[in-house]
Chain A
Amino acid sequence: MTGVLAVTVPDLATFVVAGAVVLASAIGVVVARNPVHSALFLVATLFGVAVLFVEQQAEFLAAVQVIVYAGAIVVLFLFVIMLLGVDRPEGLARDPLRGQRPLGAVLVLVSLAEILALARLHWATGHGTAGSTGGASGNVAALGRSVFTAYLLPFEITSALLIIAVVGAVVLARRPHRVSQQQYGARDERMVATERSGTGRSGTEPSGTGRSGT
């Protein structure tokens, strides 16, 4: 690996600025009280990652990152937040599992140390067969050639995956028919009764008719 002195100033500045944006925004996603703020911090993180993609000659992926992630996925998140109205503070006063938060922090630090230790090892990485990255100008062409030749079958399978996801989302979010609504209501009451006769640990009231009107 070449030394630090070989790094040009624009590359270094881009990396430092984009990396700082990525890390600061990621911390913002985790610590923000309001889920809407978390979603907006997520947009900043995704933009920073897109800048780092451009810096590493992956221009097409940077464009896809901005369009798909920042343009579609985050909008979907915001839509669900607005639809459900869940921008309420969460109750962090009690832990459902004893010592969950300190244990989680320790687990994160251990996993970070493990990843960094693994990064120092040398892995057996043979030369791939998918072709070069195409340099500064031909990235899209190289990626397209690879997707539509060597990886054609996985690419076709992803179309089936997307269709399945669309059908699943429609089935999940579909409001039940009026005929079967009574069945759903009966099941709901039975669930509530089970809840009340159970441990009764949860302090939330079951949803009434107010939610179904939205």
Chain B
Amino acid sequence: MSVPGAWYLILAAVLFSIGAAGMLLRRNMLVMFMCVELMLNAANLTFVTYSRMLGDVAGQVAVFFVLIVAAAEVVVGLGIIVALFRRRSGATADDFHILKG
């Protein structure tokens, strides 16, 4: 018998919270971006856990699509960061307050 699914869900919740904490507390844009990946992985872990608990492969298909969207998101996001750094040499997200409307 494998480990109960609730343990995985608690682990995923804690992982999501760590990612959210990094997103809220850090200023470096690249580290904030990595924290987004942490949160996506927590969601993936939840999907796979429910897929096993319910005996349904649809959860794993959802993880498959999340992986694709994450790859596209990273490509475009890093492109935006590179374009921003080409203009300004600031290292933190606060240096780009000129972007607010």
Residues of chain A touching chain B, judged by Cβ–Cβ distance below 8 Å, are 1-2, 4, 6-8, 11-12, 15, 19, 22-23, 26-27, 29-30, 32, 35, 38-39, 42, 45-46, 49, 52-53, 55-58, 60-61, 64-65, 68-69, 72-73, 76-77, 80-81, 83-84, 86, 88, 90-92, 96, 100-101, 104-105, 107-109, 111-112, 115-116, 119, 125, 127-134, 139, 142-143, 146-147, 150-151, 154, 158, 161-162, 164-166, 168-169, 172-173, 188, 191, 194-195, 198, 201-202, 204-207, 211-212
Contact = CB atoms under 8 A, between A and B. Distances in A.
A90 B28 contact: yes
20 contacts: A6-B1, A7-B1, A8-B1, A11-B1, A11-B3, A12-B3, A23-B11, A30-B19, A32-B31, A42-B37, A56-B8, A58-B63, A68-B71, A76-B78, A111-B20, A112-B13, A119-B6, A128-B56, A142-B57, A204-B95
Contacts of A108: 17, 20-21, 24
Give the size category of B's interface with A: 35 or more
Interface of B: 1-11, 13-22, 24-28, 30-31, 33-35, 37-38, 41, 44-45, 48-52, 54-58, 60-61, 63-65, 67-76, 78-83, 85-92, 94-95, 97-98
Given A23-B18, A108-B21, A119-B9, 15 more contacts: A1-B5, A2-B4, A38-B34, A46-B37, A90-B27, A91-B27, A115-B16, A116-B13, A128-B56, A130-B57, A133-B60, A134-B57, A164-B72, A168-B79, A201-B97
Nearest to A91: B92
A88 B31 CA distance: 12
Cβ-closest 5 pairs across A and B: A104-B24, A172-B79, A165-B72, A30-B22, A130-B58
Contacts of B74: 73, 76-77
Contacts of A127: 54, 56
B33 to A, nearest CB: 7
- Interface secondary structure of A, over-half rule: helix
A142 B64 CA distance: 13
B64 A76 contact: no
A161 B55 CA distance: 29
B38 A29 contact: yes
B3 A211 contact: no
Contacts of B44: 49, 61, 65
Nearest to A81: B30
A27 B18 contact: yes
Contacts of A188: 87
Contacts of A173: 79, 82-83
B18 A26 contact: yes
Given A133-B60, A147-B61, A26 B15 contact: yes
